[in-house]
Amino acid sequence: MMNPRSSARSLTFLVAFLVGICCISLAARCDAEADTASPPSPPFLARLPVASGWTMTPAAPAPAGEESDDAQRMREFYFPVLESVTSYKDEGIIHEIRQWRNQGKTEGFILKGTIFRASSPRYPDDVLIIEGDPESDFPDFLWLDEKAYQGVMPSPKGPLYLFESAGRKLLVDARTRLPVRYEENGKVFLYHFFKGKKRPVKIPAAFQAIMDQYWKARQ
């Protein structure tokens, strides 16, 4: 008859062996997927259907700091901390909402690839205009091109395309062509996509006036 302790040790060894085999198989599968992913070609990012939504959130919350509450509020007043960006796509327009720590929210709108975005929570009616690609839902990534492409990276969820330029890094799902992870100035943001509902977009008067001036000047 087998010793119970020997039986237990044998079972433990067998489980550890099987777990090791699974890990090796998963790693090999990731490497194989990375090897078989063909290099991307423009457009590097896919377009989303109407009523789609997505969020961009920090991979780790920004540290609050060790100063007093008053000092922290003063610092964040001059150097706002971005907590999240939520975007909704409607017919012909993308509505962007930025949430700032202790500073409320600001809005932005993307029309024909051009971004109209509040400059900061301190000046919500001061609108920045950033021209991008009219055929893209992500005009902030206008810098993506063949030179920025660095290769394929494996991941448990499938191969990722790596783009890098001027201190910016973007990982793109090779299958969906959607952003996964963005890094800039040491800050890392993660993307999450979801299906939303059609919702009317109301453009504030300050934004609308600047948009009208912009499109009129381009005619």
Does pLDDT of 26 surpass 50?
no
- Each residue's pLDDT tens digit, 117-171: 999 999 988 999 999 899 999 999 999 999 999 999 999 999 999 999 999 999 9
Higher pLDDT, 30 or 136: 136
Amino acid 2: pLDDT: 47
Tell me if 77 is assigned to some domain.
yes
Does pLDDT of 19 surpass 60?
no
Tell me if 207 is assigned to some domain.
yes
- Each residue's pLDDT tens digit, 79-111: 888 999 999 999 899 999 999 998 899 999 999
Among the residue ranges 28-32, 167-171, 182-186, 208-212, the one predicted with the least confidence is 28-32
Rounded to an integer, the average pLDDT of 59-64 is 72
Tell me if 125 is assigned to some domain.
yes
Number of domains in the chain: 1
Tell me if 103 is assigned to some domain.
yes
Amino acid 42: pLDDT: 92
Tell me if 158 is assigned to some domain.
no
Taking the CB of residue 27, how many other CB atoms lie within 10 A of it? 12
109: CB partners within 8 A, 6+ apart:
93, 94, 95, 96, 115, 116, 117, 201, 203, 207, 211
pLDDT band at 78 (very low <50, low <70, confident <90, very high): confident
Does pLDDT of 16 surpass 60?
no
Does pLDDT of 23 surpass 50?
no
* Domain of 119, in residue numbers: 52-140+191-218
Does pLDDT of 4 surpass 70?
no
**What CA–CA distance (Å, rounded) separates 95 from 193?**
15
Tell me if 134 is assigned to some domain.
yes
Higher pLDDT, 24 or 211: 211
pLDDT band at 65 (very low <50, low <70, confident <90, very high): low
Our CA dihedral for 97, 101, 103, 109, rounded to 10 degrees, sits at -10
Tell me if 13 is assigned to some domain.
no
Tell me if 85 is assigned to some domain.
yes
